Structure 1
């Protein structure tokens, strides 16, 4: 019997970072989707989220299920389009993701598609009916041939990226008499989703990989090493203290899920450990979505790491401290912007979106970027073609950025803290491949990375003897 590899089609995040969507064929006639994310930045070719660039432009005839690795918008944002295209198959995810996903999809609908409450309710009801939450580390049947001689199983393992994040493992099994099976019994394909960093707050480290015949691994930071996370809280404290010394707001664009909660956790620790101005400084969380997700984080403390659980036992509230002010209404949001513009009151503002492509952060940037008292602090990846990347690039040169069609001069200070990435860096990605616990990785293919990062990571892995091939 001739041995072949499973067919995989990439519908997003192939040689780019956003729009993750990969179709894995379990048999020549049956497939599953891994994620269905929104395109952002340069990958939309300038399109808005409602443009045809987000539509499902591939056949769903073979698709038996959707497997969701985590709830970031670049991995789940096209699910409404998938449902509108007629998708009615199971959606597999972790239990935490099943809780968080409807919130994220509701927000995506309101921002990108419709404010019609009845239509949103219909989409969410349909989404809920398709969700199939499963526990970490549990194999479940995904596919079985009509002759019951070929089966494929699915398992989620901890990815340590955000709450509920996982990497997905697919394993083939077949009866020795089967004439249908083209893959060896026990053949395993792994999709990494987004792998988190080690030693980050709130979440446990990624579970080490057992083995893989074929590994599709993200490469977002395949070309670099992060700053030390051991001292990142000290660097955050130092930057904020320098920024507020001259007055003005510190604006932190952050993804509603993951980054926001990590920032709140570490800011609470700084306030707890320091006297001076820190116990008096106001931290503004201006994102209804982030606030709702933070509440769920607090309800799912069983998924937190041991350090975070210990803080709760000590009577502290890592995500709901006294100096935290949550903005709920749009009128309050507008009032705060006007107040900061006129007074230069020192404060920390955390708001979405993380790449400055929309959300309330854009309003803060439009009002406060021209003010030299303002500082913008980036703690996450900024994709090519996003306003965030432009602010990083042109801000130090006193340039400008286009926000909603308006040219905004950048007079604010611009800072980047690389240690706050929730993506594994080159060393951690390499360790994931090499430090397996029950075998080895036969072949690696890179996805979810810009071309430069993938090229650098490819050369790095080849030098280490890893069998890596170009993704189809």
Structure 2
């Protein structure tokens, strides 16, 4: 068995690893690169392998940085099956069609501003490309042991990151390769804890937060409540860039759990994301994946997805109308890194106001608008306009969907024997720090791959 590292090797986004096993070729992930315009241009580059020669794709979960280039892969000749956990398979149409819509809108906007002599902008892919790609998706259950390909067996284990997220276990040629996917924190609301894996001959493990630990969840939730109380006192709005899968659902869960003590009934809550509204429906179809506490919460009052003051905006006109509200509104909108989507329109209107509070509840990749704001930028450019930032900024890291350094170390310690490993899906500082901790605690020297590195299992 052999692994070719092709993406998210030295960075967080663009996850993609080619595996050769039992005379077959399969791809772990086909994610989109996210960040600066220069970084995202890599999504248009040819794949460093022949897509038509692939026998299958295996996905860990439905976030765009793990699945967002699948239509591009099909456009380049891939004709095999795409395997994913059943809830992930339900989320893929929502995520990829939304991505295609944004690609088409961005290309249309660029062409309206195109100067004479400039080439016409083209979307990375269209909604029609997505529909053709979705025909190849094959849903699987956690814990099943299907023969993925002749001589290659597959098991998906719950990774606790988002609904349907999985760690991938491949067995071929008498060897076992494990890919962690993105791992969640133990005790994350709604989801079950990451499932341990018994053994591996090589482990590919994420390292997004390999250099830090999150704030205690109890303290984090308390901090969120304090931010909301202060925002109400100041009379401003609260903007929350949130991914449609994961953070949005957790926020609504905490609003329901703290309905009385946070005074949530006084707010107007807007879920300004048609995609997130569709994701909520998928969550409602997969209660079997919830933890016991979440199943009880969904039977209680108020139901997190049906708060009495929650408005789900579908149309552009409804979204624009929110900006006429100058206080008392909580606006949850995509995308989570503020690199596109409806949150940009709200930021353009509200960032100049001191009473506005913007709350970041997830990872902000290098080159994104979210990262620039977290790093303290005083001016940002949104839709061609320079916007001065007076809004108060809050980073609530304890709500991250990713395991922190201790969570990653605990999961690694769950193997029967410490396996050889390569650290992926992390910026250089993060994976170097995690590699140092693993070497100190377990005596295992982690490989820090770059794109193009090949490892034998």
CA shift in 2, pair 1:313/1:61, >3 Å: closer
Question: Which residue is equivalent to 1:3?
Answer: none
Q: Secondary structure, in 3 states, of the residue corresponding to 1:207?
A: coil
Contact 1:37/1:77, CA 8 A, preserved across alignment: yes
Residue number in structure 2 paired with 1:45: 38
CA distance in 2, matches of 1:209, 1:105: 30
| 2:136 pairs with 1:141 | no
Aligned to 1:430: 409
Q: 1:358 aligns with which of 333, 340, 345?
A: 340
The residue aligned with 2:374 is 392
Q: What corresponds to 2:11 in structure 1? A: 16
1:218 equivalent to 2:206? Answer yes
Task: Kindly provide the CA deviation profile for residues 304-357 of structure 1, in whole angstroms up to 9, marking residues without a partner as x.
Answer: 1100111233354122111111111101111111x13xxx22211100010000
TM-score by length of 2: 0.90
- 1:69 and 2:63 aligned: no
Partners of 1:9 and 1:82 lie apart in 2 by 17
**Any conservation in 2 of the 1:250–1:376 contact (CA below 8 Å)?**
yes
Q: CA deviation at 1:12?
A: 1.3
Q: Does 1:32 align with 2:26?
A: yes
Partner residue of 2:96 out of 82, 89, 105: 105
Deviation at 1:468, TM superposition (A): 1.9
Aligned 8 A contact 1:204 1:305 in 2: yes
CA displacement 1:15-55 (0-9 Å, x = unmatched): 1001111111114x52111111111114x525469x624x5
Superposed CA offset, 1:357-393 (max 9, x none): 0000000111110111111000000001100000011
Q: Distance in 2 between matches of 1:120 and 1:330?
A: 20
**Structure 2: where are the runs of 5+ without partners?**
109-121
Whether the 8 Å CA contact 2:210–2:434 is kept in 1: the answer is yes
Q: How many residues are aligned here?
A: 432
Q: Which of 136, 155, 163 is 1:130 aligned to?
A: 136
**Structure 1 stretches lacking a partner, 5+ long:** 1-5, 145-150, 173-182
Structure 2 counterpart SS, 1:263: helix
**Cα distance change, pair 46–171 in 1 and its aligned pair in 2 (3 A):** closer
Matched ranges for 1:25-424 at <5 A: 25-27=20-22, 29-42=23-36, 45=38, 47=40, 52-53=44-45, 55-113=46-104, 122-144=128-150, 151-172=151-172, 183=173, 185=174, 187-271=175-259, 273-274=260-261, 277-337=263-323, 339-340=324-325, 344-395=326-377, 399-424=378-403
Output the TM-score relative to the length of structure 1.
0.88
Note if contact 1:7-1:25 (Cα within 8 Å) is conserved in structure 2.
Answer: yes
- Do 1:379 and 1:416's aligned partners in 2 also have CA atoms closer than 8 Å? yes
CA distance in 1: counterparts of 2:6 and 2:156, whole angstroms:
22
Inter-CA distance 409–315: structure 2 relative to 1 (3 Å threshold): closer
From the superposition, tell whether residues 238 and 315 of structure 1 become closer, same or farther in structure 2 (CA, over 3 Å): closer
Q: Within 1, Cα distance between the matches of 2:341 and 2:322?
A: 15
SS in 2 for 1:431: helix
Tell me whether 1:460 sits opposite 2:437 in the alignment: yes
Whole-Å separation in 2 of the counterparts to 1:134 and 1:31: 20
Contact 2:100-2:130 at 8 Å conserved across structures: no
CA 1:161–1:336: 2 relative to 1, 3 Å: same
Give the aligned partner of residue 147 of structure 1.
none
After TM superposition, give the deviation of residue 235 of structure 1 in Å: 1.4
Structure 1 contact 369–410 (Cα < 8 Å) conserved:
yes
Question: Over alpha carbons, which structure has the higher Rg?
Answer: 1
Let me know the Cα RMSD of the aligned residues. 1.9
Farther off after superposition, 312-321 or 384-393: 312-321
Separation of aligned partners in 1, 2:39 and 2:387 = 18
Q: 1:108–1:137: structure 2 CA closer, same or farther, 3 Å change rule?
A: same
- Aligned 8 A contact 2:272 2:342 in 1: yes
Aligned residue for 1:178? none
Bigger RCO of structures 1 and 2 (CA < 8 A, at least 6 apart) = 2
**CA, structure 1 residues 48+319, in 2 after alignment: closer, same or farther (shift >3 Å)?**
farther
